Structure 1
Amino acid sequence: MGVAHLTALELSPAEFVEAAADAGFSAVGLRLAPAAPGALCYDVRPATAGHAALTAAMARTGVRVNEVEFVPLTPGIDLAALQPLLETGAALGARALTVSGDDPEPARLADTLARLAQMARPFGLRVDVEFMRWRVIGTYEDACALLDRAAQDNTGVLLDVLHLDRSGGDFAVPDLSATGPVRAVQLCDAPELRPSGDEATIHEAREGRLAPGQGVLPLHRLLSRLEPETYVSVEVPDAARPPEERLRRAAEAALAMLSRKDTPCPEV
């Protein structure tokens, strides 16, 4: 089971790997590109001190990197500038790059995704689209339609359960079969009352998530249908607790839920 960097983004990649291992996680996602201009991210390109510290932590703990993030696909994005990110992801053994759809012109957005997927293919990377209610690609259906338009075999949907619920999605709808679009699932939980407006929705996603099993999301409706090879991670930022406690509580809650008899054992 993995854990997304947003859960403890204040930790450097090396620190995050060490803390994730102590909590019981076997894989991590790393924020190596800013989700918005000026936002926090980390430089672990090969030959940097950050890369040396990270790979040493990975060797000590056995924790692997599953995905690198986060790239908003905006109008006018400079795809060539992403080459170092792809190289870094490949050097770390990552399997996927996470992106969002932020271009209101469908044909141009699909072309951007297609070209990025073609760039990522030689590095062994899949490009996963994460939908969020406040972005252009705001629903599961939007993400699937974008993948269809881009028509690349190394693309997928990253299904964050909070975004599925807050975008009005039905947990019984996503195609979780081996041939479906969902390649990774991010777990958390949430209260029944949905935030009103984009600002409140963003705040909840970044600071107000609950650990799996502590809210009302019908997680087992989704988890019981997962293929064993689907990558499962946890994303539960919680500024009220120290990062190490945050990670430990998230791991305990997720493992308790995944250990139920009606839930298949996911890839770890």
Structure 2
Amino acid sequence: MKRQFSLAHLTVLGCAPPEMTYIAAMAGYDYVSLRPIYMGLPGEPNYDLAGNNEMMKQTKRALADTGLKLLDIELARIYDGLDPKRYLPAMEVAAELGGKHVLSSIWTPNRNFYIEKFGELCDLAKSFGLTVDLEFVPIAEVFDLAGAVDVLRAVNCENAGIMIDTHHFHRSKDNVEDLNALPRQWFHFAHLCDAPGEIPTERDEMIRILREARSYVGEGGIDVARILNQIPEVPYSIELPNLEKVKEFGYAEHARRCIQTAKDYLDAYPRE
């Protein structure tokens, strides 16, 4: 199977979806992973395609011009008080653009609530032919592999999946062998990046690296190949935000370096 790569929006967050798509095509990606669900984070642009007809039209044109596909949309967070129907417009966008997956994460400690809402999210996505892939995040409430597995087993939805981010997996200190025991049908895509091997003890530093200082694959301290060897061959969405690299090279060259270093690394450490 030919390796396939997607450009994740966080890697080039200053680029609107149409520009991002052209950059991804020029750099040699197969897919784009868009962020049409506005989260209101500091400095985050609003790429709500459902509410911006012109940007949606331009994004469609960019996908058609380049031949790239939409892999997934993000981020359908589960948080206190959420009505999952709030994500319906973004799911409609994903379906219209030919997307396959919806990325989700959990930000409330109320297990009964998040199990119920994640299940509702899966039911809503199913009508659009989309999977919902749960990402455990070190600063979220569901922060490790066991927590994510608990959710998937509890909801027992056929379109539910688990999304492994190599940064997050390393930070969670999980055992890579545990991945091999999970159902293969749970894995639809993965996030690829590297980071310093030493795990920050301060939350602010964890957040800083997570959001703006990840490393090119092979230039950090994460055993990326060991993680990937335990999951099926899936498309790799390169989520590699690095403000310094963007400032030095610009978005287009940063995106190119992201995929080139990933390919070089995976060639050097082929799957066992």
Contact 2:10–2:241 at 8 Å: present in 1 too? yes
Q: After the TM superposition, which residues 189-228 of structure 1 pair with which residues of structure 2 at under 5 Å, given as runs?
A: 189-228=194-233
Indicate yes or no: 2:59 matched with 1:51: no
Contact 1:101–1:135 at 8 Å: present in 2 too? yes
Change (3 A) 1:226 1:258: farther
| Distance in structure 2 (CA, Å) of the matches to 1:232 and 1:129 | 15
Partner of 1:256: 264
What secondary structure does 1:259 align onto? helix
What secondary structure does 1:174 align onto? helix
TM-score by length of 2: 0.91
Partner of 1:186: 191
Partner of 2:37: 33
Partner of 1:142: 147
Partner of 2:12: 8
Contact 1:128–1:156 at 8 Å: present in 2 too? yes
Same amino acid, percent of matched pairs: 26
Deviation string for 1:14-59 (max 9, x for gaps)? Answer: 0000001111111010011123467433022388111110111111
Gaps of 5+ in 1: none
Indicate yes or no: 2:96 matched with 1:88: no
Deviation at 1:180, TM superposition (A): 5.0
Indicate yes or no: 2:167 matched with 1:162: yes
Partner amino acid, structure 1, of 2:261? A
| Distance in structure 1 (CA, Å) of the matches to 2:243 and 2:41 | 22
Contact 2:104–2:133 at 8 Å: present in 1 too? yes
Deviation string for 1:196-240 (max 9, x for gaps)? Answer: 222211111111100101112111112234423x22111111112
| Distance in structure 1 (CA, Å) of the matches to 2:174 and 2:202 | 17
Deviation at 1:176, TM superposition (A): 7.5
Indicate yes or no: 2:255 matched with 1:247: yes
| Distance in structure 2 (CA, Å) of the matches to 1:133 and 1:177 | 20
- Between Structure 1 and Structure 2, the one with more helix by share is 2
Gaps of 5+ in 2: none
Task: Choose from 38, 62, 68 the match for 1:63.
Answer: 68
| Distance in structure 2 (CA, Å) of the matches to 1:47 and 1:198 | 35
Contact 1:144–1:181 at 8 Å: present in 2 too? no
Moved more, 124-133 or 215-224: 215-224
Deviation string for 1:145-181 (max 9, x for gaps)? Answer: 1111111110111110100111212333323766353
Partner of 2:120: 115
Change (3 A) 1:4 1:195: same
| Distance in structure 1 (CA, Å) of the matches to 2:46 and 2:138 | 23
TM-score by length of 1: 0.92
| Distance in structure 1 (CA, Å) of the matches to 2:8 and 2:149 | 22
RMSD of equivalent CA atoms: 1.9
Partner amino acid, structure 2, of 1:32? P
Indicate yes or no: 2:208 matched with 1:236: no
| Distance in structure 1 (CA, Å) of the matches to 2:51 and 2:98 | 12
Task: Choose from 154, 171, 176 the match for 1:171.
Answer: 176
| Distance in structure 2 (CA, Å) of the matches to 1:6 and 1:261 | 26
What secondary structure does 1:84 align onto? helix
| Distance in structure 1 (CA, Å) of the matches to 2:72 and 2:201 | 31
